[in-house]
Amino acid sequence: MRLTRRYRFSASHRLHSHALSDEENRRIYGKCNYPFGHGHDYVLEVSVTGPLDAATGRIVDLDTLDGLVAREIVTPLDHKNLSLEVGAFRETVPTTENLVAEIRRRLDAAWSGAFGVAGPSLERIRVEETKRNYIELA
């Protein structure tokens, strides 16, 4: 079985690569390279898989999942400038692709501590940046 839980957070960023010239950054990232950044209301989906527990009728304890996502993702990222306030993006361009990879890294690192070895598996991360743009990582 699979369960998908949805979370929301708001953050700003500037798409700018230190490996590129200012002209290249403007050409590649366009308005997203605006020096003062811009913001998004991100929608994060976390999908987990696992067997149905006969006693609870669930595949995951939602309070545990919600606490993990709040602690590792929402609280550290909500209302932050990803480019300036989140260490993972000081040298890495905070594209949605890189944001999804960072979210996965953070959840993977904390997963067994929250659920143990026999717990559910983290199957997929999906982040919607805009109504037209989302990234998934399985």
The DSSP line for 40-61 is: EEEEEEEEEE-PPPTTTS-SS-
- Give the chain's radius of gyration (CA, Å): 17
Among the listed residues 38, 79, 97, 136, the single catalytic one is 79
Among the listed residues 32, 45, 85, 123, the single catalytic one is 32
Among the listed residues 72, 102, 128, 129, the single catalytic one is 129
User: CA angle at residue 81 from 79 to 84, to 5 degrees?
Assistant: 145
Task: Confirm whether 79 is a catalytic residue.
Answer: yes
Burial 63-98 (b: 16+ CB within 10 A, else e): eebeebbeebbeebbeebbbbeebebbeebbbbbeb
CA gap 45, 117 in Å, rounded:
22
Task: Confirm whether 32 is a catalytic residue.
Answer: yes
CB 12 within 8 A of CB 78: no
Catalytic residues: 32, 79, 129
